[in-house]
Amino acid sequence: MFDRLEDILIRYKEIEQELMDPNVVNDQKHYRDLMKEQSDLAEIVEKYLEYKDMVKTMEDSLQMLEEESDEEIRELAREELNESKQRISEIEEELKILLLPKDPNDDKNVIVEIRAGAGGDEAALFAAELYRMYVMYAERNRWKIDMMNLNENGIGGFKEVIFMINGKGAYSKLKYESGVHRVQRVPVTESGGRIHTSTSTVAIMPEADEVDIEIDLNECKFDVFRSSGNGGQSVNTTDSAVRLTHIPTGIVVTCQDEKSQLKNKDKAIKILRSRLYEMELEKAQSAEAEARKSQVGTGDRSEKIRTYNFPQGRVTDHRIKLTLHQIENVLNGDLDEIIDSLIAADQAAKLSKMQEDN
């Protein structure tokens, strides 16, 4: 591990020198690539330099204990030695996590698709609440929301909602949210006071760049129609809504949120690109079945991942057996404890597998 850390430190210093070269500054693409590489390495380098400082402090304390006869100074040296040893142990664990292979999609924006599942109107109402939860979580992180498509049911519920969250690291946080979310409560539509169970599915996809997925527009069929709102009434008087059909895969994307046909077409292509990219990721993950087993679920839409139980005021994530009695806070976007726990569990599983392989 420490040989690798030394190599990273050497590379970081080389990048610093390169960034001062006028020829590099004039080559914008190369300059951006170096800046990104430097940014990716910065946290590891900072932690490794802290480690080296702690090792030096420990060595100085040991030397002081050998050379000093004054008991008061020796006691201070012992305290410093114990503190530095403890911190060294902590930093070593932190460095192991930082050296885990980084998901290349972690820094990307995400496209979120939420669909009502089993439960009719109640499932659609729950889908709308999940949308609100993610919007509030995004606001806490100062990320921006861009609505892409919305299909309402007329009583405030969403049959389907597709939106983009723009923000650095959005995928690294939200990738664990894909799957089936289940709600247990007495629906507003229930007159008998019985608890119902309904579901909504959430799909989290990294925004795909053109370099990730190239789309041949000759393989796409575009239909245009008038946007419609609740009850089917026409929202626009022009054919601005777009339905894109990708002929090779049969994927259909509908966008009607914008009043401009061109903007809806651009959004539809963006959604298609991310869906195709997600399909490629799933193929790669299937090919690495053993590695997949070591991860917390991050994409299987059929996997029941979480239950929101209103009578008991609890939220349970089934993958890591975490239960919080804070359902209101969670639905108001306070997802940090759940997401941080999922990240920690995923990292622990990957560390364990890496140690087994070694």
For residue 106, the surrounding DSSP H or E stretch is: none
Please state, in angstroms and rounded to a whole number, the distance separating the CA atoms of residues 6 and 155: 60
As beta bridge partners, residue 221 has 245
Residue ranges matching CATH 3.30.70.1660 in the chain: 110-348
- Tracing tokens 């305290």 back to the chain, one arrives at 79
pLDDT of residue 287: 60
- Report pLDDT digits (tens) over 244-274: 999 999 999 998 878 888 899 999 999 999 9
Fold classification of 110-348 is Alpha-Beta Plaits (3.30.70)
Please state, in angstroms and rounded to a whole number, the distance separating the CA atoms of residues 343 and 333: 17
Six-digit token string for 154 = 């007329």
Task: Annotate 24-92 with DSSP letters as a single string.
Answer: HHH-HHHHHHHHHHHHHHHHHHHHHHHHHHHHHHHHHHHHHHHH---HHHHHHHHHHHHHHHHHHHHHH
Six-digit token string for 142 = 């100062």
Return the CATH number of 2-98, one of 2.30.42, 1.20.140, 3.40.50, 1.20.58: 1.20.58
Within 13 Å, how many C-alpha atoms sit on residue 15's CB side?
20
Please state, in angstroms and rounded to a whole number, the distance separating the CA atoms of residues 165 and 149: 13
Please state, in angstroms and rounded to a whole number, the distance separating the CA atoms of residues 25 and 31: 6
pLDDT of residue 181: 95
Residue ranges matching CATH 1.20.58 in the chain: 2-98
Intra-chain end-to-end CA distance of the chain, in Å: 12
Average pLDDT of every residue of the chain: 86
Instruction: Give the mean pLDDT of 193-216.
Output: 87
Q: State the pTM of this model.
A: 0.74
Phi, psi at 306, each rounded to 5° = -150, 145
Contact 209, 215 (CB under 8 A): no
- Report pLDDT digits (tens) over 56-70: 999 999 988 888 888
Please state, in angstroms and rounded to a whole number, the distance separating the CA atoms of residues 186 and 197: 9
- Report pLDDT digits (tens) over 271-327: 999 999 988 888 776 665 544 444 455 445 567 999 999 999 999 999 999 999 999
Please state, in angstroms and rounded to a whole number, the distance separating the CA atoms of residues 29 and 284: 29
pLDDT of residue 317: 96
Phi, psi at 103, each rounded to 5° = -65, 120
CB-CB neighbours of 5 under 10 Å: 19
Closest by Cα among 170, 172, 169, 205 to 282: 205
Closest by Cα among 255, 300, 224 to 160: 255
pLDDT of residue 299: 45
Please state, in angstroms and rounded to a whole number, the distance separating the CA atoms of residues 34 and 18: 8
